[in-house]
Amino acid sequence: MSDEQKRNWEKAERYLRRFRDATLGHFIDGEPRAGLSGEVFENRTPIDGALLGTVAAGDARDIDAAARAAARAFPAWREVDGAERRRLLHRIADAIEARAEEIALVESVDTGQPIRFMKAAAARGAENFRFFADKAPEASNGLSLPAREHVNYTLRQPIGPVGVITPWNTPFMLATWKIAPALAAGCTVVHKPAEWSPLTAALLVEICHEAGLPPGVLNTVHGIGETAGKALTEHEAIKAIAFVGESATGSRIMMQGAPTLKRVHFELGGKNPVIVFDDADLERALDAVVFMIFSLNGERCTSSSRLLVQRSIHDAFVERVVERAKRVRIGHPLDPETELGPLIHPKHLEKVVGYFDIATSEGARIATGGRRVGDVGYYVEPTVFGSASPGMRIAQEEIFGPVLTVIPFDDEEEALRIANGVRYGLTGYVWTSDVGRAHRIARRLEAGMIWVNSENNRHLPTPFGGMKASGIGRDGGDYSFDFYMETKNVCVALGTHRVPTLGSSPR
Ligand code: NAD
């Protein structure tokens, strides 16, 4: 154990003690609350399966209390001046930055994500708050749409209390990505974090209140998706659901929300292609390919999990990817040298390991990896499947681990056919030095976000979201406000048009 890992561990222990000492409850109407049923679930670290504590398993009654609190808080929060909301959200960002170390260490132990990546979690979260804070004063501004005899203008108004349901991959950052624009828009929120990574959501709601957020504006209810999550999607007072998670869960949420006509925004799964042509800058492409599958333990929706390589460079390029994969440092997430930590949960480990067998049975070649590492914690080797064909399950299904499926192609048309031949459409990555080809591919790839000669590089004003089974709607910039707000048109006559008259002619 390096000195720094030891120091990290000691600090993490201090931050985690509170979660071991007492059951983690909900946060409703400005205060911590025990679960009404008294039911709890265990939260364990993926590093070695040790217990981190117990967590209240919220049910429909807890969700009802939170939704009512959010509904009570809404009329006042909606009326808070945009400039005041901006000030408050910046204070939340300051408070997040002040507790950055705690957030990083707790998230790292809770999720197994290497500390080298989690160090940025708080900074990214704070940035999300600052970005939407600055947009708050103008969020309600709409368009001026003048006609000949009428003036039309649009206003945007917060939709009401909303539900935010988040997954276990980068939970802190993703929660802020949803909650910050909702608050900036003037909505109140009930947040249901993922049951496999509940801890930093508890820090977030605490930080928001310490920074001065009024009671009831943000409420957090922990619990299992099929119970607490389901109740949130069905609650009458909740006007919209912002959901990040699996595509199958998205379908269920749509059905659950149908009777109350929920507006939904979905960020779902992906099986994203990275297409490497033989004229690309192969050094940069290599770095990007390796980074986009093995960073964040491969548990990222935007990971490029299908590598499509032009046949002329296929063998040489794949050999270099394999070499790199073999050198990716697996280890304890709190070791600053670690590049790949354990997968989140034994069930997820089982799923990922299952694909090693599927690959072999489908006739693919395991070029490297393909095994679990040790029997303590949920580690797997960085894995590359070679000789894959586009129809195989390993080329179609989201594995959500450090597992890359390589498929060769001959030309542009074939690359596009393979890239688009999946049910998902979140992101696509293209590596080529031919500008015309880059644009042609970008235009025809069925994905919500395309990166040309780049790894995933986020700019907050740009739209984020997927096509096909990867999502509905876009986040980022003004797009977020379109979801969290209603657009209202106001039409005012200039007094010059003829108003139709009825019943004015003599009988
Ligand atoms: P998941 O769908 O299992 O769970 C996500 C959340 O939904 C959890 O909080 C869970 O408790 C809740 N949930 C489960 N069933 C529910 C139900 N019936 N009603 C309401 N809520 C319910 O997803 P996961 O395994 O936690 O996360 C991984 C998935 O998230 C992957 O598919 C990944 O691609 C996706 N993801 C997508 C994006 C994106 O931006 N497109 C970002 C991150 C993760």
- C-beta of 192 in contact with ligand 1 (< 6 A): yes
Contact between 318 and 309 (Cβ < 8 Å): yes
Sort strands 365-368 and 150-158 into parallel, antiparallel or unpaired.
unpaired
Q: Whose CA is nearest to atom 15 of ligand 1?
A: 225
Which residues neighbour 94 within 8 Å (Cβ) at sequence distance 6 or greater? 126, 211
Token pair of 41 as six digits = 């679930």
Q: What is the pLDDT of residue 506?
A: 87
Which residues neighbour 297 within 8 Å (Cβ) at sequence distance 6 or greater? 112, 113, 114, 340, 341, 342, 343, 344, 401, 402
Among candidates 43, 52, 61, which has minimal Cα distance to 20?
52
Q: Is the dihedral of CA 81, 84, 90, 94 positive or negative?
A: negative
Instruction: Categorize the per-residue pLDDT at 56 as very low, low, confident or very high, splitting at 50, 70 and 90.
Output: very high
Among candidates 345, 390, 28, which has minimal Cα distance to 205?
28
Q: Whose CA is nearest to atom 8 of ligand 1?
A: 194
Atom of ligand 1 nearest to the CA of 193: 9
Token pair of 357 as six digits = 């067998």
Whether 267 sits among the annotated catalytic residues: the reply is yes
Q: Is 254 exposed, middle or buried (0-12, 13-18, 19+ CB in 10 A)?
A: middle
> What backbone phi and psi angles, to 5 degrees, belong to 440?
-60, -45
- C-beta of 400 in contact with ligand 1 (< 6 A): yes
pLDDT, tens digit (0-9, with 9 covering 90-100), for 306-359: 999 999 999 999 999 999 999 999 999 999 999 999 999 999 999 999 999 999
Whether the pLDDT of residue 1 is over 90: the answer is no
Q: Whose CA is nearest to atom 18 of ligand 1?
A: 226
CA–CA gap between residue 115 and residue 2 (Å, rounded) = 14
- C-beta of 267 in contact with ligand 1 (< 6 A): yes
DSSP element (H, E) containing 166: none
Token pair of 388 as six digits = 């894959």
| Domains (range + CATH), the chain | 3-268+470-489 (3.40.605.10), 273-452 (3.40.309.10)
Helix (H, G, I), strand (E, B) or coil at 170: coil
Ligand 1 centroid to Cα of residue 132, in Å, is 24
Contact between 43 and 201 (Cβ < 8 Å): no
Beta bridge partners of 274: 307, 429
Catalytic residue among 267, 299, 339, 398: 267
Token pair of 142 as six digits = 């709409």
Average pLDDT score over residue span 286-292: 98
Ligand 1 centroid to Cα of residue 14, in Å, is 30
pLDDT, tens digit (0-9, with 9 covering 90-100), for 257-287: 999 999 999 999 999 999 999 999 999 999 9
**pTM greater than the 0.95 cutoff:** yes
Q: Whose CA is nearest to atom 13 of ligand 1?
A: 225
CA–CA gap between residue 179 and residue 192 (Å, rounded) = 11
- C-beta of 140 in contact with ligand 1 (< 6 A): no
Token pair of 385 as six digits = 């499947």
Ligand 1 centroid to Cα of residue 284, in Å, is 32
Average pLDDT score over residue span 452-480: 97
Mutational pocket test of ligand 1: of 179, 246, 256, 397, the residue with most ligand atoms within 8 Å of the beta carbon? 246
- C-beta of 234 in contact with ligand 1 (< 6 A): no
Half-sphere exposure of 312 (CA within 13 A, CB side): 9
pLDDT, tens digit (0-9, with 9 covering 90-100), for 209-235: 999 999 999 999 999 999 999 999 999
Mean pLDDT of the chain: 97
Whether the pLDDT of residue 410 is over 90: the answer is yes
Ligand 1 centroid to Cα of residue 393, in Å, is 21
Catalytic residue among 102, 187, 208, 301: 301
Query: How far out from the chain centre does Cα 295 lie?
Result: 15
Specify whether the backbone of 245 is left (phi greater than 0), alpha (psi in -120 to 50) or beta.
left
Helix (H, G, I), strand (E, B) or coil at 160: coil
Q: What is the pLDDT of residue 154?
A: 98
Average pLDDT score over residue span 112-130: 96
Whether 301 sits among the annotated catalytic residues: the reply is yes
Angle at 157 between CA 153 and CA 160, to 5 degrees: 155
Token pair of 310 as six digits = 């032009």
Instruction: Categorize the per-residue pLDDT at 190 as very low, low, confident or very high, splitting at 50, 70 and 90.
Output: very high
- C-beta of 220 in contact with ligand 1 (< 6 A): no
CA–CA gap between residue 190 and residue 217 (Å, rounded) = 8
Neighbours of 9 (CB within 10 A): 17
| Single-letter residue type at 311 | R
Instruction: Categorize the per-residue pLDDT at 445 as very low, low, confident or very high, splitting at 50, 70 and 90.
Output: very high
Atom of ligand 1 nearest to the CA of 348: 25
